[in-house]
Amino acid sequence: MVEEITLLVDGREVKGRKGETILQVCQENGIDVPTLCHFERLSDIGSCRVCIVEIEERGRTRIDTSCTTPAAEGMVVRTNGEKLNAFRKAAIELLLSERNHFCMYCEMSGDCELQKLAYRFGIDHIRYPRFYPKLPVDSSRKYFIMDHNRCVLCRRCVRACEELVGNHTLGLRGRGFETMICADLNVPFGESSCVSCGTCLSVCPTGALVDRRSAYMGREVQVKRVKSTCLFCSVGCGTEIVVRDDYILRVEGDWDAEPNRGLLCAAGRFEPLYDETRARSLKPLVRRNGGLEEASWEEALDLVAEKLRGFDKKAIGALASTRATNETLQLFAELFKEMGVENLGCLEGPITEPPEKELSLADLDEADMFIVVGEDLAEDHQVAGFFVKRGVTNRGARLVVVDEEETGFVPLARRWLKPDEVEEAVHLCNAAAQPAVIYGARAGEELEVLRRELADRARFFWMAPGTNARGALAAGLGGPFDAEAARCVYILACDQGKISEELMAQLKEADFVAVQSSYVEPWAEVADVILPSVLWAEKEGSVTNLEGRTLKVARAVEPPGEVKGEGEILRAIRLGVRG
């Protein structure tokens, strides 16, 4: 039970909890204290001094930053006053005079926290001399740029990189007026240890960090934010898709969402918008005379239904990508099961049902030892990797990698063990109070050893393959797929582009292949019919993440062209098959 405390803020009696800062108490009680370097999810450092308040305690009055001062019983706090506001105004003016802050040319104008403060304190000119320092713009990063001219050195980016991501790429160089944000030992950002997760970008209060794609494309009042779930791995990060005029500007992490709490990785934040170069499938395509030609929906659906009716049930196979929603996967399984088709599977390969029905990634923040088995958290499930990274680099938790391959986490690890040395990991675990075993698809026998030896002591975290692996398992699609037996194959591909060569080769041998896909590639060569289907931001429904948590997927933009929803297509096929 947390002790409740009572404070007098601006003459009003307010309640808070022991351990909270004055700022937290004020915010919970609807008292607006201006801030700049403060960011809710980051530790407070009191560097901008804008949130200073007058504190009266035990007969003594002092001025201190509300973000760093713990609230105490009986404190008298004044958040407003001529002197305080004069100081705040001067402090903001000094910041504005420091570097090249010219709002009318700035991408963040309208959404900038520094600018808002300037308006709030009525700053219409700057009384201090300006320095016009010649500062660089670092555009060496692929997805966003760093403009030092707009930087106010609040260090939110540094703290985010360190505290939330555990990456410790960002830091500071120089001192006093020469202080600059830098990456690693002052290398260009693009050549640094940066993993492009974009967390720094999302916490920057000014136009110092700017997303390349959405720069100058719209201010907050002109955009729509749609809360959804990232579909690019099984962590199931909560996102906010930022849209203007049916065009996706960028994807941001949802700070209120579990399990990611605002974090995203490059694969979810940037890659879908920057790196996807495949052509959308906008109209149904049907193979005629050896080539794919545009066709009407009716014609394409009729052809698919006819083939599904015509082939022997044993010769029909159906594959679904785990990027589909729970609803789609259920419908998909129902459709083929009622047709009598038994050869069903996942496009990304078979999924082994884990013993853990539910787990919570938040528990990783408690672990004092991580054993990562058969999984490269630097490549896959990166946000889960951030939990591990921050545990290792900030809390001193130990990391042991058990893997045949040298994964991206090996440099962070205390030991890198080969699978046959797994006993050593068990031994190392003896010193840990809360060990966590994180295992991926490549984990084999060694995982069984760990399960046996650490059953009562360690928590196990399944890094589910694909995206909606639990949804696929629930729909009964986790089993092996017999590609050779399938002469007629129906594929619910979503936007999946990574298909094993083996499967592709087998599909080439099939008599008929129908693909329901957002993109033409990589299906142009093997498909007989391509049905244009919605993309991640056009879907609606839910997915179940690796924790077993059901997460909402919301439609942020309308599907283009003749693209139809996943369920809509499946229902049409069902009708066609039933005749």
Partner 1 sequence: MLSSRCWQGGDEMPEKALLRNAGVPHVERIDVYLARGGYQAVRKALLEYKPQEIIEMIKRSGLRGRGGAGFPTGLKWDFMPKDPNITKYLCINFDEGETGTFKDRYLVEEDPHQVLEGAIIAAYAVGARKAFMYTRGEFPLGMKRWIKAVAEAYGRGFLGKNILGTDFSLDVYVHRGAGAYICGEETALMESLEGKRGEPRLKPPFPTQVGLFGQPTLINNVETLACVPHIVLRGPEWFASIGTEESKGPKLFCVSGHVEKPGLYELPMGTTLREIIYEHAGGVWEGRKLKAVIPGGASTPMLTPEHLDVPMAFETLPKVGSMLGTGAVIVMDESTCIVNAVLHLARFFAHESCGKCAPCRVGTHTMLKILERVEAGEGRDGDIDLLLDICETMYGKTFCPLGDAATNPVTSSIKYFRDEYEYHIEHKRCMV
Site residues, partner 1 (CB under 8 A): 45-49, 52, 63, 68, 70, 87, 90-91, 94-95, 97-98, 127-129, 131, 152-153, 171-172, 174-179
In Å, what is the CA distance from 455 to each residue of 28, 85, 391, 426, 432?
Answer: 42, 59, 22, 11, 14
**Shortest Å distance, C-beta 168 to partner 1:** 12
**Shortest Å distance, C-beta 174 to partner 1:** 7
Counting Cα atoms < 13 Å in the Cβ hemisphere of 488 gives 18
Closer to partner 1 by CB, 179 or 222: give it: 179
CB burial readout 122-138, b (16+ within 10 A) else e: ebeeeeeeeeeeeeeeb
**Shortest Å distance, C-beta 363 to partner 1:** 24
Closer to partner 1 by CB, 46 or 350: give it: 46
Closer to partner 1 by CB, 64 or 363: give it: 64
Please name which of 223, 221, 169 lies closest in space to residue 198, comparing C-alpha atoms: 169
Distance CA(3)–CA(23), nearest Å, equals 17
Helices (H), 131-254: 156-159, 199-203
**Shortest Å distance, C-beta 433 to partner 1:** 18
Helices (H), 122-251: 156-159, 199-203
Closer to partner 1 by CB, 136 or 174: give it: 174
Closer to partner 1 by CB, 130 or 313: give it: 130
Residue 522 token pair = 């990589």
**Shortest Å distance, C-beta 68 to partner 1:** 5
Q: Please state the separation of Cα 273 from the chain's center in Å.
A: 13
**Shortest Å distance, C-beta 58 to partner 1:** 15
Counted residue by residue, the chain has a size of 579
Closer to partner 1 by CB, 171 or 576: give it: 171
Closer to partner 1 by CB, 90 or 504: give it: 90
The label of the residue with tokens 């108490």 reads 25
3-state percent helix, strand, coil for the chain, nearest multiple of 5? 30, 25, 45
**Shortest Å distance, C-beta 86 to partner 1:** 8
**Shortest Å distance, C-beta 87 to partner 1:** 6
Closer to partner 1 by CB, 207 or 565: give it: 207
Closer to partner 1 by CB, 48 or 493: give it: 48
**Shortest Å distance, C-beta 36 to partner 1:** 8
Provide the 10 A C-beta neighbour count for residue 410. 16
Residue type, 21: T
Characterise 497 by phi-psi region: left (phi > 0), alpha (psi -120 to 50), beta (else). alpha
**Shortest Å distance, C-beta 237 to partner 1:** 31
Residue type, 454: L
Q: Please state the separation of Cα 536 from the chain's center in Å.
A: 14
Q: Is the peptide bond before 522 cis (omega within 30 degrees of 0)?
A: yes
Closer to partner 1 by CB, 47 or 550: give it: 47
How far apart are the two ends of the chain, measured CA to CA in Å? Answer: 65
Q: Is the peptide bond before 259 cis (omega within 30 degrees of 0)?
A: yes
